[in-house]
Amino acid sequence: RIIRFKYNDEDSILAALTDENKVYRLPYTDFMNLVNEAENQKVTTLFLVENVIATSLPIKESIDELSLLVPIIAPEVWASGVTYEKSRDARKYESTGGKTDVITCYDKVYDADRPEIFFKSTAARTIGPNDAVHIRSDSNWQIPEPELGLVINKDGKILGYTIGNDMSSRDIEGENPLYLPQAKIWKNSCSIGPVIRLAETVEDPYNLQITCQIYRDNQKVVEGTANTKQLKRKYSELIGYLIKDNKIFDGTVLLTGTCIVPPNEFTLQDGDRIEIEISGIGILKNDVKLPAPKE
Ligand code: DO4
Ligand code: MG
């Protein structure tokens, strides 16, 4: 797994995190530099990383002592929607007030050949662990969306897997699906990290357990779990539609849709804490903040 962290007066360090939680500094400026170097040498990224681990010593600090940053400064984050039944049903609920005898755009997109793919975030709006996700001041129904993130190159090749939180406003989208960008994009509305698990080390990306826990005043108030085997689509299908006739940049992250939705009566509050775990990848933890109104 690849991490980035702040270290004394150095801006950022790229490092490998082993399964035993040992941290090895890598001689590359960032994740894409590592990937490109492997390509130049015609070896896998895993080979380069294992070589560093075999020929150097881990740093003395433990992973918990490090100030982790986003593992990659993704130029863009895109997201897939309504890729799990759970999401289709939740979107239908918020847009109809709970009616089941109507066909909504969410029912149609779940069954359509073309998936829902939307623009989610830019590098400046995306945060990593140890930073707070923001909630909007004009919404009364906001949730995290725990999602597997694909780190891809400009040609759509999957380089690694990360964890993403597609923060969402259910009442804004529920009022009118045309409000989607406002229900999805604002400052600190997207979190990714804390690691990128190299693609070649993931045995079955369609069998990853995802868990989301939300804490309020140190009490767990929400817990949900699901598995990527419930995904309706293939990752190649989502990427295929994303890159079609598009310009995509190295290090783009594509979120694959949410499979966990908190109970309908739940909304996030300032001071909550969100923890999203994906098996074999790690735990993405973020506090929730309602920023003070601008003067
Ligand atoms: O249709 C809205 C977006 C749904 C979404 O973000 C998801 O399913 O994860
Ligand atoms: Mg989502």
Whether residue 219 is contained in a domain is answered as: yes
Q: Whose CA is nearest to atom 7 of ligand 1?
A: 81
Domain membership of residue 248 (yes or no) is yes
Reported as a single tens digit per residue, the pLDDT across 222-268 is: 999 999 999 999 999 999 999 999 999 999 999 999 999 999 999 99
| Cα dihedral sign, 126-132-138-144 | positive
Structural tokens at position 70: 């986003």
* One domain for residues 115 and 202: yes
Q: Are residues 28 and 116 in the same domain?
A: no
Residues 54, 97 within the same domain: no
Tell me, yes or no, whether 37 and 118 share the same domain.
no
Residue 92, domain CATH: 3.90.850.10
Ligand 1, atom 6, lies closest to the CA of 81
How far apart are alpha carbons 159 and 199 in whole angstroms? 5
Q: State how many domains the chain has.
A: 2
Residue nearest to atom 2 of ligand 1 (CA): 81
| Residues paired with 165 in a beta bridge | 146, 191
Question: Does residue 174 have its Cβ closer than 6 Å to ligand 1?
Answer: no
> Which amino acid, residue 67?
S
Classify residue 295: in a domain, yes or no: no
pLDDT tens by residue, 269-278: 999 999 999 9
Pair 108, 132: CB distance under 8 Å = no
Which of these ranges, 8-17, 159-168, 282-291, has the smallest mean pLDDT? 8-17
| Secondary structure class of 282 (helix, strand, coil) | strand
ipTM: 0.99
Same domain, 203 and 265: yes
Which structural domain, as residue segments, surrounds residue 189? 76-289
- 73-96: average pLDDT: 98
Ion ligand 2: residue ranges with CB closer than 5 A: 145, 166, 258
> How far, CA to CA in Å, does 228 sit from each of 8, 184, 210?
38, 22, 7
Distance CA 133, CA 206 (A): 27
| Among candidate residues 68, 94, 111, the one where a domain is terminated | 68
**Nearest C-alpha to atom 9 of ligand 1 is from which residue?**
257
In the predicted structure, residue 10 carries a pLDDT above the cut 90: no
Average the pLDDT over 23-30 and give the result.
97
Q: Give the distance (Å) from ligand 1 centre to CA of residue 27.
A: 38
Q: Are residues 198 and 260 in the same domain?
A: yes
Share of the chain above pLDDT 70, in %: 100
pLDDT band at 105 (very low <50, low <70, confident <90, very high): very high
